[in-house]
Amino acid sequence: MNNQPIRVMIVDDHAVVRSGLAAFLLVYDDLELVAEAGSGTEALHLCRAKQPHVVLMDLVMPEMDGAATTKAIKQQCPGVQVVALTSFREEELVQGALQAGAIGYLLKNVSADELASAIRAAHAGQPTLAPEATQALIHAATKPPEPQFDLTPRELEVLALVIQGLNNGKIANELVVSQSTVKFHVSSILSKLGVGSRTEATALAVQYKLVP
């Protein structure tokens, strides 16, 4: 049985958070703080130099965020496990961290014992997710997909002009085509969007950001 302590590195751009986490690690005999980093770039350098087993990773940092740092660490130090430790529970952050290679996702309101357990689990290759992170993943997985309207580039051009309030004559002048061509495009757009009027088409285009 290996009695060596688990080597931990803290990555957070707030010194107060780093010192708080460092103090907490001192309480546990099987956890050892080997490095602290205030940025993603520094974390990468220290990861190579100090060879931690587990990294506690803040996600929202300037310049290089936690997901990008996690991905870089997993590429350069593949044996290192990363646990995201953040104040945020947004779906995009949870998905980004896990896609980058994090094995855990915890919120900063976690208790010391829960965090210690997550570090031990990560070292053993086992994931730990905060209930809020699990909820975010479930919500993201069950969200209906964005509808695909399959408008052609020309139809998108016409739609952009419809949104500006131009009538068929003005659209024809703008695109240097006949009014009958514009009418055909508008009819096709309404059909593909499943709407009955230009006003509805405009509302739908704005809702789904179909045109810039």
Q: What is the pLDDT of residue 2?
A: 59
Structure tokens at 205: 């285009």
pLDDT of residue 1: 44
Rounded CA gap, 132 and 107, in Å?
8
Does pTM surpass 0.75? no
Tell me, what's the pLDDT at 78? 93
pLDDT tens profile 81-131? 999 999 888 888 899 999 999 999 999 999 999 999 999 999 999 999 999
pLDDT above 90: residue 176: yes
Distance (Å, rounded) from C-alpha 25 to C-alpha 29?
Answer: 8
Q: Which pLDDT score is estimated for 167?
A: 95
**pLDDT at residue 175 in the model:** 95
Strand partners, 56: 10, 83
How does pLDDT run across 131-150, given as a tens digit for each residue? Answer: 989 988 888 888 777 788 88
Per the DSSP assignment, residues forming a β-bridge with 84 are 57, 105
Report d(CA 88, CA 31) in Å as an integer.
25
Instruction: Name the percent of the chain lying above pLDDT 90.
Output: 78
Average confidence (pLDDT) over 162-174 = 95
Lowest mean pLDDT among 7-21, 51-65, 82-96, 115-129: 82-96
Structure tokens at 209: 């950001």
Per-residue pLDDT, 152 = 93
Within a 13 Å sphere around the CA of 75, how many CA atoms are in the beta-carbon half? 9
- Domains in the chain (CATH in brackets) are 6-142 (3.40.50.2300), 153-207 (1.10.10.10)
CA–CA distance from 109 to each of 36, 82, 86, 106, 147 (Å)? 20, 18, 9, 8, 37
